Amino acid sequence: MSILLTGESRVLVQGLTGREGSFHTEQMKAYGTNVVAGVSPGKGGTTHLGIPVFDTVADARRETGADVSGIFVPAPFAADAIMEAAAAGIGLIVCITEGIPLYDMVRARAFVVDAAAKLIGPNCPGLTTAGEAKVGIIPNHISTPGSVGIVSRSGTLTYEVIQGLSQAGVGQTTSVGIGGDPILGLSFSDVLRLFKEDPATEAVVMIGEIGGSDEEAAAEQVIGRSFGKPVIGFISGRTAPPGKRMGHAGAIISGNTGTAASKLQALKRAGAQVCDTIEEVVAAAGAALGQRSSAAHR
């Protein structure tokens, strides 16, 4: 079981023939992802990496039945690529591109919502369903199938947590990097709700960071309301100097909201287990699974 992406998902890649699109599509195929089409305007009717290329997402979806799109399109054109995928009826859109202008993303996100599609990103590593498929740039070798779901704002910390869990013998269901920009598709709350309904996910690791209020909202609206599964939380950026902007555009603190302290307090109030290091996260996830297994056999 998984959320959002399975081995049966039919994936198209927007920007397939570009350098980044080519490299990461090869990695996605090597992982087992069912990549059925590419979209590169002006190159329709050709093939690339053994994959048929189309001029538009609509053509690709009509000919191949694609239902997931991975976007590796330069920032000036990425918002249009997102809206094109949504307009064509793609249900899950994963945008890896960073540096998309804020106003472009305001328009694109509204368009995606109106189309009833799901967007992951932008400026994110994508997602991996362990042992089945991936869309994005999460390294192939670090995931192991299991029962821990991961949702994270930080790409690098996503990789660290996945690899740490795998090395400790704790496998994952789906790992989702939602991205760190101010305007995003799926939020922590959205992904947590999906994990709550997934019977294969027995515990969730949530990796947040300073800036914004998404973590506080998830704690209050989802985790603290009969979530029913252990949540292990980690907030990066605790040592950021007051008043200093850190990292990407999403790491902006306004007043008392968005600070590491406010996020940690919100998670603790909601009943999540908050950890100080990635090593503690790994140990806590393993312990949480052990406790659930013991409870199930009583």
Which positions are annotated as active-site residues? 248
The owner of tokens 């790992």 is 175
For residues 116 and 74, give the distance between their C-alpha atoms in angstroms, rounded to a whole number.
Answer: 24
For residues 209 and 120, give the distance between their C-alpha atoms in angstroms, rounded to a whole number.
Answer: 17
For residues 218 and 246, give the distance between their C-alpha atoms in angstroms, rounded to a whole number.
Answer: 22
For residues 164 and 153, give the distance between their C-alpha atoms in angstroms, rounded to a whole number.
Answer: 17
| Backbone phi, psi, residue 136, to 5° | 130, -145
Strand arrangement, sheet containing 145-152: 133-136, 126-129, 172-177, 145-152, 203-209, 231-236, 273-274
The Cα-based distances of 154 to 5, 57, 125, 250, 298 in angstroms read: 20, 29, 8, 10, 38
The answer to whether 180 touches 208, Cβ cutoff 8 Å, is no
